[in-house]
């Protein structure tokens, strides 16, 4: 185990039978957070009359709205006198950095697999990371009540995955349970009576090894997460690898570069249910949150004051996409946001680096621009949405892939494993679209009832903007997931050009008459009464070139036309795009303007003269 590798030779090992540390890992939407709900409720940490709802661990607004876990979180429950620390991890590949850093706190893992979908791309990723850390696995086949459940096949596929990824013999010796997370039941066999989650509790105690620790050795703790409280300040969260920790004690903080500074711990907290509980002492094996170390960062070591020894820092997979964040330069700048200066934006982005370990931020080519790199479009869009909700106003560019050179100087780009589940009637149109994006078909499985799973290897570039096309091509009857598999030689130009944009030719307020004229040339993105400015994108042209339209133009009033003629104007409902759809839509010469109230599309150069001049210079 990770804890054991950090122990010194000849140390006094003690087995802590009173504690288990386990992480729950799975592909997105396989039911991790719902299962944790059941574990929390059945451990009686809530009052009988307490209203707790569902998805208790997803406390972040965006997590509840998107229906995914974004941030890894800790909780603790008690079963038969044993404290079980549970770490709920994200399932989406874009938040793999969260998984990589928090798995170091666990001794075992519960791998959740959907009874219908089986192992998916992120299942492979999280399991590989868990086995690299030598965590003892427990497999739970979830959602066995689904009509399309194929339990036996899924168990076989999971065993094949273990055979492929296991690095030690004991990794293949794992128990398999069957569960309906939503109902709060788990069974050792699918045919068993459905009662509660007691079989899972028992399996955790039997399978997950108790920590073997040296309580008398000098203190070591790796900071794997940070939290903040308006009253107590910053919390440094991690697992104590060896030694003891008490409030008001002197410690050493060792940063990633090996620099040692003397600090003082203020308070020490352990977890009890969803709450942090203050304690007089914590020892090796405990997952704790400590205050008093205001400059602590993820990946640093909190060690004994007199014997500062650093633990190996956390290695996180590098980002694959980058975007340029800049100060809002539109004519509407400063109207809706509380924070709109480059100083405020820069401070906020660099502050995000403290907790978002997969993110990279560097200053851009001008003082008002910053290049932000992340693990995928969703990773970056969650950051954009967070800033927007906090009152920041800014503009962002189209996502670009991050390339690198091999030892021979050849450019390499990131590739992903793309998995699509859809109806077989859409195979042809999807294959044609993905071929243009340089995708290579690697596997296809048809279940015989019209459902098909198609797997591709595709450059990350080819996935930029594909999600919108995918939803249109499949009429919403499909799901797609991707996972980074590495870097390979550059595949050449990908021609995914869309039609031209309809661009507002003057500033004002959009009216029905002007929008009706615009809809004769394409699809519109705004409604009557929307303020617009010159250079703002108001629609999509039916032709390849951009076209300027005056959506503020009103109908001339004369005494000849019928007074009822305006009533007959009926507009087609506009296409209202989300933040992710907007990022997918824009070209390299376009930007997304983000404010707390509005998301607008615009040209990088607003006036027709500027755009013509830039085209000529190219």
User: Is 192 known to sit in a ligand binding site?
Assistant: no
Q: Report in angstroms the alpha-carbon separations of 155 from 33, 36, 75, 612.
A: 21, 22, 28, 60
Q: For residue 363, what are the contacts with CB-CB under 8 A and spacing of at least 6?
A: 346, 369, 370, 371
The sign of the dihedral angle between the CA atoms of 339, 345, 349, 354 is negative
Cβ–Cβ under 8 Å, residues 470 and 454: no
Closest CA to 129 of 84, 87, 85: 87
Cβ–Cβ under 8 Å, residues 608 and 549: no
User: Is 143 known to sit in a ligand binding site?
Assistant: yes
Strands (E), 129-219: 136-142, 176-180, 185-187, 212-213
User: Is 142 known to sit in a ligand binding site?
Assistant: yes
Q: What pairs with residue 415 in β-bridges? A: 459, 486
User: Is 34 known to sit in a ligand binding site?
Assistant: yes
Q: Give the relative orientation of helices 427-436 and 466-473 as an angle to the nearest 10 degrees.
A: 160
Closest CA to 303 of 247, 242, 387, 237: 242
User: Is 144 known to sit in a ligand binding site?
Assistant: yes
Closest CA to 244 of 164, 304, 189: 304
Edge to edge, the sheet with strand 220-229 lists 260-264, 250-254, 301-304, 220-229, 233-242, 287-291, 268-272, 275-278
Cβ–Cβ under 8 Å, residues 415 and 493: no
User: Is 24 known to sit in a ligand binding site?
Assistant: no
Q: Which residues are annotated as a binding site?
A: 29-34, 142-145
Q: Which residues are annotated as a binding site for GTP?
A: 29-34, 142-145
């Amino acid at each position: 185990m990770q804890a054991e590798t950090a122990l010194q030779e000849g140390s006094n090992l003690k087995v802590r039978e009173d504690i288990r540390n386990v992480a729950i890992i799975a592909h997105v939407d396989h039911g991790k957070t719902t299962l944790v709900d059941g574990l929390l409720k059945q451990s009686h940490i809530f009052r009988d009359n307490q209203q707790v709802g569902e998805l208790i661990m997803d406390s972040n607004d965006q997590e509840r709205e998107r229906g995914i876990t974004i941030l890894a979180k800790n909780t603790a429950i008690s079963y038969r006198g044993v404290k079980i620390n549970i770490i709920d991890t994200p399932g989406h590949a874009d938040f793999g950095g969260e998984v990589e850093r928090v798995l170091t706190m666990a001794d075992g893992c519960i791998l959740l697999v959907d009874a219908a979908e089986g192992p998916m791309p992120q299942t492979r990723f999280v399991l590989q990371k868990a086995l690299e850390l030598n965590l003892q696995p427990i497999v739970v086949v979830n959602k066995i009540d689904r009509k399309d459940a194929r339990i036996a096949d899924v168990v076989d596929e999971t065993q094949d995955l273990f055979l492929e990824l296991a690095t030690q013999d004991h990794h293949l010796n794992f128990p398999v349970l069957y569960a309906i997370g939503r109902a709060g039941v788990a069974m050792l066999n699918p045919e068993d009576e459905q009662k509660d989650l007691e079989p899972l509790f028992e399996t955790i105690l039997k399978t997950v090894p108790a920590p073997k620790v040296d309580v008398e050795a000098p203190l070591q703790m790796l900071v794997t997460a940070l939290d903040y409280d308006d009253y107590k300040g910053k919390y440094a969260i991690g697992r104590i690898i060896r030694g003891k920790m008490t409030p008001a004690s002197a410690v050493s903080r060792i940063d990633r570069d090996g620099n040692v500074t003397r600090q003082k711990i203020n308070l020490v907290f352990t977890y009890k249910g969803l709450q942090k509980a203050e304690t007089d002492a914590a020892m090796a094996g405990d997952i704790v949150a400590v205050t008093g170390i205001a400059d602590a960062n993820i990946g640093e070591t909190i060690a004994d004051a007199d014997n500062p020894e650093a633990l190996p820092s956390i290695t996180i997979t590098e980002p694959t996409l980058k975007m340029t964040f800049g100060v809002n330069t539109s004519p509407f700048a400063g109207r809706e946001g509380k924070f709109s200066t480059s100083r405020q934006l820069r401070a906020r982005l660099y502050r995000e680096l403290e907790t978002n370990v997969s993110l990279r931020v560097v200053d851009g080519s001008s003082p008002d621009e910053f290049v932000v790199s992340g693990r995928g479009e969703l990773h970056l869009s969650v950051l954009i949405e967070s800033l927007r909700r906090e009152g920041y106003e800014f503009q962002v560019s189209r996502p670009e892939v991050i390339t690198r050179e091999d030892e021979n100087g050849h450019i390499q780009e990131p590739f992903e494993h793309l998995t699509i589940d859809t109806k077989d009637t859409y195979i042809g149109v999807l294959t044609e679209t993905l071929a243009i994006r340089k995708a290579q078909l690697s596997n296809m499985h048809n279940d015989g009832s019209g459902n098909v799973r198609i797997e591709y290897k595709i450059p990350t570039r080819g996935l930029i903007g594909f999600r919108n096309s995918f939803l249109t091509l499949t009429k919403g009857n499909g799901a797609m997931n991707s996972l980074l598999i590495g870097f390979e030689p550059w595949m050449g130009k990908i021609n995914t050009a869309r039609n031209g944009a309809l661009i507002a030719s003057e500033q004002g307020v959009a009216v029905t008459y002007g929008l009706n004229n615009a809809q004769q040339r394409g699809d519109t993105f705004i409604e009557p009464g929307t303020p617009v400015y010159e250079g703002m994108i108001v629609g999509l042209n039916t032709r390849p070139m951009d076209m300027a339209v005056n959506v503020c133009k009103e109908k001339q009033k004369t005494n000849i036309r019928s007074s009822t003629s305006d009533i007959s104007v009926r507009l087609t409902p506009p296409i209202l795009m989300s933040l992710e759809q907007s990022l997918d839509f824009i070209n390299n010469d376009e930007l997304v303007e983000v404010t707390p109230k509005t998301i607008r599309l615009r040209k990088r150069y607003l006036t027709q003269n500027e755009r013509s001049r830039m085209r000529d210079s190219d």
